[in-house]
Amino acid sequence: MAMGEDARFFLDEIRTEFLKYAPAYAQAEAAQAIEKIRELQMQGLIRNGLFYITLVDLVGSTKYAAEYGNQKSSDRIQYFVTSSLNALIDAEVTNIALFVKEIGDAVLFIFQHFPDILRWRTAFADRLDILRKFGGVPFEIRTCVHLGEVFLDGVNPLSLAVSQCFKMEKKVTAGSIVLTEGAYQVAWPTIARAYHGFRDFGDVELDGFKSPVSLHELILGEPGELKRIVQEDLE
């Protein structure tokens, strides 16, 4: 079997497994997202390795449910999750970008390339902003980015780094994009604004580290700032 055929067979298996973890209401979006990865990966394989683990959490879900009720809260979370998948389709990613799962009112993705996170996060914000333009309650989200080895059982990540990423979630404020020290050190050469584009964001205790891990926030001073960063030369 030729290399391209090997890759196609492997990605067919990944696609089947991937769709198991996508919520039922987002199957169509999930299928489109994996097809995009198939297009990028026909000459190679998705392997275990070093990835940016990216967790985006919907802030204020409990308060929203208390005010508007369970059904509207459920609809809102579904819109949030499907928007994250559609954003992966919208974004011009250049490397592996894979939806892993939704966890309540949060979504977990892995990325191979930091600029792809910014492209996806920009497209995600655009999707969520549509509701605000029609008078809906604005979405507030926080973004946690960690770096570590990920072992994929299908698309289910078996990794200490994933657990560590969840541990930093409550330290991150609404609207912020925050990286752990390791993710920051690897990511900063990939964006033009690196030296003045981040600020210290305290630290967090993570299992597996002897001392607290420093956090770094991407500076977004004005509305539309993330989009301007993405439009710069990210390479």
> The domain containing residue 191 runs over which residues?
3-231
> Quick check: 43 pLDDT over 50?
no
Q: Over the stretch 153-209, which tens digit does the pLDDT of each residue have?
A: 655 667 899 899 999 998 999 999 999 999 999 998 887 665 568 999 999 999 999
The pLDDT of residue 137 is 86
Number of domains in the chain: 1
Distance CA 5, CA 35 (A): 16
Look at 197 and 215; give whichever has higher pLDDT.
Answer: 215
> Quick check: 89 pLDDT over 60?
yes
Strand 156-158 relative to strand 198-204: parallel, antiparallel, unpaired?
unpaired
Tokens linked to 22: 């996508």
Tokens linked to 213: 């891990």
| Tokens 């956090």, located at residue | 215
The pLDDT of residue 100 is 79
The pLDDT of residue 200 is 94
- DSSP state string for 93-105: --S-EEEEEEETT
The pLDDT of residue 80 is 93
The pLDDT of residue 234 is 54
The pLDDT of residue 6 is 47
CATH number of residue 90's parent domain = 3.30.70.1230
The pLDDT of residue 21 is 58
Tokens linked to 132: 């605000």
Task: Provide mean pLDDT across the span 38-64.
Answer: 78
The pLDDT of residue 25 is 64
What pTM was estimated for this model as a whole?
0.78
